[in-house]
Structure 1
């Protein structure tokens, strides 16, 4: 009996020894880096893990084939070492384990857009190879760890959209290699530390917006000479005057200081002169340019000079002006009025002389040698024939009534032919969109023009229509299609503009059959990007109405035979709303071909900014900035946002912008993102990377963070020069 019992105990012992040996063989078959990574898997709630760790098999020898893990062979080590963790957007709940700090060769930690909570462990910064930490979009709390700057190679730190609190640590001055510091949308309080920014000579992006910061803006912020893009301090409690040193920042930097308690006059020197009014909104005590809010003279309310109310209460009022002074003032006023009257008379006769020299009756010859100054900056160029605007207006007004007749109104001095010539000319359908049918019309002198038919409605809103057309016609820029004339009648509305001979950018990129083009070199693409940016900057900054295009996409960027871009279709949405008609409802222009039913409508517009896709939203200039950024990405990658940028059956990135951003966050090889056609031009690699950074700045999700088109154009002009 006892013998059998001993035998059973021995069998049980052997069983446990075998199991323990198997367990040890499984455990110790995994590399130390793999064991450290298992701590992350254990720190995540299993019910939120989903498929994020489905292939993290503990019985493998190396974790390098696990999802989200990248490795590299390191000299002196037999096994590949973990250099990257990228598990983002998985809605993982849990905490960040301190064991990740044992990954000595970890360079990139990307856990953004999850639901990690708790504080950032200080032991994480024992991984001294870290240069990029992306933890934004979680629920992390506690202070910003001061030990971050013990990382000698840290370049990118994005902790935005969390619940971090406390103050900004002054030891950040030791992060001399830091390029991007993004702490936006947290609960960080206290003052912005002073005396640290001059040491951060490599910082290119600083975003402290949407926190609880108070106090003044430090003077040494102006020492950030490498800064680019947007300096964002918006939505805090900052107070005091704007330091003049901010004007020492690079001219390409845009300010976002909205929603604070800043006060005093906005300086007009240096970078301040390049800022728009939106940079300073919702600071009630700020005044001066560009807010167009005058600064009051504070001397009247100073302690040494009592105001009139105080005088009336404390003693007899002061005597009024003497009769001599009153007479002198009256004489000065009369002289001023007389001088202004002389100026008005002079301008009137000068306009009359100009009108006699070249009237605006629609009799001018199209194709005259009119010289348009090429722009070295967005604001160079002329606005066109302003003197003849009222004459054109009156002529069309007189010709639009009666028995259904109309009139051809020339906007440009170099344009003339008879209406009958237009209506009899040969016409060919170029295409159709929501903004009307477009025809190519060849005039009697052999010169082609583009004619857009807007429809038949809106005959009661002529004055409004004419004002809009005149404003569009004043825009003159080499990279914008020129509107030459318009025709108004109760049953027809036409716009006549220059004909650009080489199609549009969409066709140039993808060909007429939708296949990628092989003819666009990097130099050509850069030329198209620069020209388009110049044209948009002109529309935004220098056109009479500071136009917003609102529908920038490749089909609206025409290219000529030298592949110079020409922006078309700006301002037409407003004209369509005035006519109140469906422009594609059919009809003819003289000898024009009928509308071809085979012309397909355009695909869903994926070039629009996220906020532009909200029903009822009004177009802004930042819409155009985002759309331009998508086009620039298309020029760089050769991929259309209309199509999936990958061939994988499990696509995680639904659009081109997110696909490129993910590639840069994970530091994928440039060859994985750029158009293969551009890889043949090795010398252009640095230029391509610089253009990528411009495009990513344009496509920021927050419209206020996106730079102005003027800044974008200036940055592009520096590439390749």
Structure 2
């Protein structure tokens, strides 16, 4: 290592002399980066080929990100990402001189040796990804001297030693991932209470032993999975783990825990797989009783105990087994007869008319007629045009096939003929289906979306998807009330949100501008964040919306936001329609009309979401929400014209435009919507929301916050 450092110093000195003699002046950041090129090899003799010492700046080199920093003549290096390039070598300490470096990503290479302590002189570092290499040694003591350190992933290396107490000084840390190393020893008390922002902790596949410290239950921001599996932990599982948030899953497999699994707090949400391969562990949810654990019935893990004592373990008598078998056979036969009876009753009822005597979901008298006929809603283009022109609505008159009209919300009942006879106003038409406003007989309006005509072979899949959407109950999410399914007709019936979309509220009607006050915009931002966090954290499937934008945020008369359109792409796929990114939303009126300015949907999508073949993630939604926040703050659409000179204009997306303004320290008045400038008292609040939006729109999805964190931070604004 000493020889390598001497060689490196000579290399840098030689390069410096060459630059002086040739008149080319590579920036100091570039010279520091050349130390990395000198320290690695890709096996083919051409590592980092475009890192050229003859360049004036390293900002165009592969894997290098730069930014203009106030007070500096040259752009400074803020990111290094040379992941997965098969680089073999060591990490040079000279990288510590990159004082503006924020992100360091070396994962998926063959770096060896220890992590140099001097690396952490780069005091702006907030994300370090060194996983999947061959690094060894212990953690450097200066690691937690970084004031902004948030993300640390050193997994799948050969790092060793105990978990150092100085980690308690990494108080901004959000992700600590040390899995797949050789860390050992007991974990000391006092580390975790200081990590108030920690969201992810993975210490799996190491050599830790002893008991889990009780204070691990103080990680109140933890989410996802607490992974301590494949270690040598012993003793009882501390009850304090039950104090962790209810959304946290445990992975304590393959350890040496003993005693009974606690039954408090978060333990109630854990399945048996969380505790597997701990031979001396017992109690729910494991199938191993903690009473008389040695007395187990063959074939039943753990044995079932009752008050009958020894007699309960003798098994069933042959005569009783025969009696139970006969009873089962008779029961199956009766069920079969009932099914046949119901089938023929439905067959006979095929001619029954939709007289309105049955409530939504079936006939009150027989419970068998599930409305085998239904009038279809109008779908011709003239209806759509008449609505755009402010004309009256039209009512249905087509026939349909046999189907089921099912209430998801049991408290939401109405007679079927109300739906069929009511005037249906066309609100919009797109690849996501035609949408109507229907006013029921009691004066209650609903939004009815007509989906595709296919998918008759995928009934169960359709119903499962709709039921999952219908279970979402949150004041900031449009509520799905009912659905109708037939081979040639699928309808979704949801709440009608009366005050249009955020898109129309921000941009105003043609010839007008938005008049939304700051307090209203903050209310919309907070409500939307709450709804989206609920979808991510609390919904049964932990939904990903995948298409957050102002036109999918509907407003009621009090300007409370309601998120719409989640789960629709999946339903459209099932019904065989062709999804479109424009128009058509569950529950609303004005959103379906063309906005005054066409939306550039891709500008709401995260950079990784614009690549083909990507699978939607929650971090996509976080980025999109960040763009919506920036629109609320600036009043500008996602595409911004920025003058670069008196004769030319640069087209930037809104995220780049705002970041450029902050980097150049432009006055806040140049970025904020002029409507808000009158509310001088809101300046601090506006600035706080800007910072939240910038965190949401980070280019690296791994360092974007969760929506739960975003919502919590927004709730603090203005309080």
TM-score class, shorter: 0.5 to 0.7
**In 1, Cα distance between equivalents of 2:158 and 2:654:** 31
Change (3 A) 1:698 1:362: farther
Change (3 A) 1:431 1:171: same
* Shift in Å, 1:145: 3.6
* Aligned ranges 1:128-139 → 2 under 5 Å: 132=126, 134-136=128-130, 139=133
**In 2, Cα distance between equivalents of 1:33 and 1:571:** 47
Deviations, residues 570-605 of structure 1 (Å, cap 9, x unaligned): 565665566566799xxxxxxxxxxx9999999679
* Shift in Å, 1:67: 7.5
**In 1, Cα distance between equivalents of 2:50 and 2:576:** 52
* Aligned ranges 1:323-334 → 2 under 5 Å: none
Say whether the 8 Å CA contact 2:120–2:146 is kept in structure 1: no
**In 2, Cα distance between equivalents of 1:123 and 1:243:** 35
Query: 2:262 aligns to what?
Result: 267
Query: 1:89 aligns to what?
Result: 81
Query: 1:688 aligns to what?
Result: 689
**In 1, Cα distance between equivalents of 2:405 and 2:114:** 68
**In 2, Cα distance between equivalents of 1:706 and 1:126:** 23
* Shift in Å, 1:478: 3.0
Choose from 452, 476, 490 the match for 1:479: 476
Change (3 A) 1:454 1:248: closer
Query: 2:47 aligns to what?
Result: 48
Most deviating of 210-219 and 483-492? 483-492
Matched, 1:117 2:111: yes
**In 2, Cα distance between equivalents of 1:256 and 1:162:** 21
Query: 2:554 aligns to what?
Result: 558
Choose from 424, 427, 430 the match for 2:425: 427
Deviations, residues 336-367 of structure 1 (Å, cap 9, x unaligned): xxxxxxxxxxxxxxxxxxxxxxxx985799xx
Say whether the 8 Å CA contact 2:403–2:487 is kept in structure 1: no
Query: 2:93 aligns to what?
Result: 98
Change (3 A) 1:253 1:424: closer
* Shift in Å, 1:232: 4.3
Q: Could you say what secondary structure the match of 1:451 adopts?
A: strand
Change (3 A) 1:413 1:81: closer
Change (3 A) 1:299 1:319: closer
Say whether the 8 Å CA contact 1:504–1:558 is kept in structure 2: yes
Matched, 1:498 2:495: yes
Q: Could you say what secondary structure the match of 1:296 adopts?
A: coil
**In 1, Cα distance between equivalents of 2:538 and 2:526:** 17
Change (3 A) 1:308 1:226: closer
Query: 1:163 aligns to what?
Result: 157
Query: 1:233 aligns to what?
Result: 227
* Shift in Å, 1:452: 1.5
Query: 1:626 aligns to what?
Result: 619
Say whether the 8 Å CA contact 1:68–1:85 is kept in structure 2: yes
* Shift in Å, 1:154: 7.3
Query: 2:293 aligns to what?
Result: 301
Q: Could you say what secondary structure the match of 2:475 adopts?
A: coil
Choose from 188, 191, 194 the match for 1:197: 191
* Shift in Å, 1:163: 2.7
Choose from 616, 628, 633 the match for 1:635: 628
**In 2, Cα distance between equivalents of 1:72 and 1:27:** 26
**In 2, Cα distance between equivalents of 1:57 and 1:697:** 28
* Aligned ranges 1:500-649 → 2 under 5 Å: 500-508=497-505, 523-535=519-531, 548=543, 551-554=546-549, 555-570=551-566, 607=605, 625-638=618-631
**In 2, Cα distance between equivalents of 1:667 and 1:140:** 37
Q: Could you say what secondary structure the match of 1:440 adopts?
A: strand
TM-score computed with the length of structure 1 as normaliser: 0.59
Change (3 A) 1:236 1:668: farther
Say whether the 8 Å CA contact 2:456–2:487 is kept in structure 1: yes
**In 1, Cα distance between equivalents of 2:553 and 2:134:** 45
* Shift in Å, 1:166: 1.4
Say whether the 8 Å CA contact 1:210–1:235 is kept in structure 2: yes
Say whether the 8 Å CA contact 1:41–1:53 is kept in structure 2: no
Deviations, residues 102-159 of structure 1 (Å, cap 9, x unaligned): x4x9364643247583434645168495765635357461223433258485745635
**In 1, Cα distance between equivalents of 2:440 and 2:173:** 58
Matched, 1:280 2:274: yes
* Shift in Å, 1:715: 6.4
* Shift in Å, 1:562: 3.0
**In 1, Cα distance between equivalents of 2:278 and 2:105:** 36
Choose from 442, 446, 450 the match for 1:449: 446
Change (3 A) 1:516 1:183: farther
Query: 2:323 aligns to what?
Result: none
* Shift in Å, 1:444: 7.3
Say whether the 8 Å CA contact 2:94–2:119 is kept in structure 1: no
**In 2, Cα distance between equivalents of 1:483 and 1:81:** 56
* Shift in Å, 1:237: 2.9
Deviations, residues 303-361 of structure 1 (Å, cap 9, x unaligned): xx79899xxxxxxxx99769xxxxxxxxxxxxxxxxxxxxxxxxxxxxxxxxxxxxx98
**In 2, Cα distance between equivalents of 1:138 and 1:516:** 55
**In 2, Cα distance between equivalents of 1:486 and 1:582:** 20
**In 1, Cα distance between equivalents of 2:664 and 2:230:** 36
Change (3 A) 1:558 1:190: same
Deviations, residues 374-412 of structure 1 (Å, cap 9, x unaligned): xxxxxxxxxxx9xx7784994653534999666895836
* Shift in Å, 1:259: 5.7
Deviations, residues 166-186 of structure 1 (Å, cap 9, x unaligned): 124535257365635634455
Q: How many residues align?
A: 588
**In 2, Cα distance between equivalents of 1:468 and 1:194:** 46
Change (3 A) 1:49 1:424: same
Change (3 A) 1:407 1:41: closer
Say whether the 8 Å CA contact 2:362–2:369 is kept in structure 1: no
Superposed CA RMSD in Å reads 6.3
Query: 1:399 aligns to what?
Result: 372
* Shift in Å, 1:190: 1.8
Unaligned ranges ≥5, structure 1: 1-19, 59-65, 74-79, 310-317, 323-359, 366-384, 585-595, 618-622
Say whether the 8 Å CA contact 2:548–2:625 is kept in structure 1: no
Matched, 1:242 2:237: yes
Q: Could you say what secondary structure the match of 2:291 adopts?
A: helix
* Shift in Å, 1:527: 3.1
**In 1, Cα distance between equivalents of 2:371 and 2:194:** 67
